Chains A and B, each alone.
Chain A
Amino acid sequence: MSLSLKLFLSTYTLVEFFLFSYFIWLIIESKQFKKIIAIVSLLFIIFICYYFFTTKWNAFDSVPVACESILIFTFSLYYLFEQINKPRVLFIYNTSMFWIILGFLVYLAGSFFIYTFADEIDRQDLDKFWFITFIFNAIKNIFFSIAFSRREAKDKSSSGLSSYDNFFKNPYNPL
């Protein structure tokens, strides 16, 4: 495998991981988990560099991609759990972020096996099944399109309970 292709694939994995994790880092609220994402990302960069310099590949950087998938999968799931634990009245699927995260999850879950085995199987076999990644890539893009086309719904949880509270803010309200 040529060095330039190897470099391209490693850089692609790194950039992809960086963009996905940075996006999740932006939308996650827990500061602790943000720190975890930053630390894990740093470790992942080190791992990719180590893998690039020390390991021989046949056709694909399966191990870094599998690690990337697992990490992004974990981050995405954490985001979803954070969302459902928030006291709110807005349904999760009414938010754009949900559709983007759904795109991540479906894409990563669908292409996980093919990426994981890509380095171990023959080129011909790989070509035969590579279309699966295209399908999931397309599905991911559809979900992204849904997310971008959504008008952001407003959470009603902060709208106040009723005029009763407002009434009692002024005890001498003449009614």
Chain B
Amino acid sequence: MILLQASHGTSQFPMVLYFGTIGMLVLTIGLIVFIIFHQRKVIRYQMQLQHLEQEQQKMLLNASIRLQEEERQRIAADLHDDAGPLLATARLYLNENLVNLDKTTQLQSIYNAKQIIDDTIQLIRNISHSLMPPTLKNFGLESAVNDLFQKISGSGSMNASCRFHDYRERLHADQELIIFRVIQELVNNILKHSNASFIHLTQNLSGNKLYIRLHHDGRGITQADFDKLNKSNVGLGLKNIQSRLKLLHGRIYFEKDISQTYYKVTIEIPRLEEEPIAPHK
């Protein structure tokens, strides 16, 4: 209204026009500057997030490489320290046959060599089973986990039980292996650090997601501890769990039960309909 009234007086017109135009320009430029600065701020924030994520991923990658190296070293040590001397001893016994012509001694040394070779076969079988449990390959995750828990229970130090509620259809072999490794790592952590008297595992299927939950009554960690350990340089096993689950697009939650007596670890894995994970070459 003021502008319109002012526009009726010819002398006022230039002022209205100038101020109006300048006002509009200032508004427009202000808006554009705001948009630019706002976007810069958002992008900077996004880049920081991305950087953090990259750092996290780098740590996970390092953890997985380290774990692989440790595994290789373990296998190398098993082969070098156990299988090597056993085979060397067997060779010695067999060599003895060449020098000693006494029939009884020869038979004795062949028998000893056979015993040692049997032990070596068992040792190599154990190494191979630790790399890929035959139960898992042949009978699936449920049997492999049952087997693992029976072994733990059998040791007498801890009561371990598991129950698969809905596992009629087996997952892809690679998925099963990854889940089994995660369970193994979690159980291993519980055995090592928690001082628990029992572990109980349950499996459920809800919609398109598979849930595996571990309960134990020892010392455990919460999600906050897990996140903290993941960001630090320690907790190699946990990082490895996370990188394995990342592969399955799965998630893991660490929490304390409402009763404050148990710790719970829940793994959530979506059932993949599309292509399975790359085959073992």
Contacts and interface: CB of A to CB of B under 8 A. Distances in A.
Interface in A107-154: 109-114, 117, 120-122, 125, 129, 132
Interface SS, A side: helix
A120 B7 contact: yes
A80 B31 CA distance: 10
A31 interface: no
A84 B39 CA distance: 6
Contacts of A81: 35
Contact of B246 (A105, A106, A111, A168): A168
Give the dominant DSSP class at B's interface: helix
B7 A109 contact: no
B40 A117 contact: no
A117 B42 CA distance: 40
Interface stretch (A3-11, A48-56, A159-167): A159-167
Interface in B239-275: 243, 246-247
B61 A167 contact: yes
Contacts of B16: 113, 117
A161 B7 contact: no
A110 B24 contact: yes
A114 B46 contact: no
Given A80-B35, A161-B50, 4 more contacts: A81-B35, A106-B29, A114-B21, A168-B243
B178 A110 contact: no
Given A105-B28, A106-B25, A121-B7, A84 B35 contact: yes
A161 B50 CA distance: 7
Nearest to B14: A129
A164 B60 contact: yes
Interface residues of B, number: 42
B68 to A, nearest CB: 7
Contacts of B68: 175
B243 A110 contact: no
B121 interface: no
A129 B17 contact: yes
25 contacts: A80-B35, A84-B39, A88-B43, A89-B46, A91-B39, A102-B32, A105-B28, A105-B32, A106-B25, A106-B28, A106-B29, A109-B21, A112-B20, A121-B10, A122-B10, A129-B14, A132-B21, A161-B57, A164-B58, A168-B243, A169-B278, A170-B278, A171-B178, A172-B281, A175-B65
Contacts of A91: 36, 39-40, 43
Contacts of B40: 91
B27 interface: yes
A42 interface: no
B231 to A, nearest CB: 16
B98 to A, nearest CB: 43
A113 B36 contact: no
Given A84-B38, A93-B36, A109-B28, A162 B57 contact: yes
Pick the most buried of B13, B39, B53, B278: most chain A CB atoms within 10 A of its CB.
B39
Contacts of A109: 21, 24-25, 27-28
Interface string B39-77: 110110011001001100110110001001000000000
A142 to B, nearest CB: 15
Given A91-B39, A113-B24, A114-B17, A171 B31 contact: no
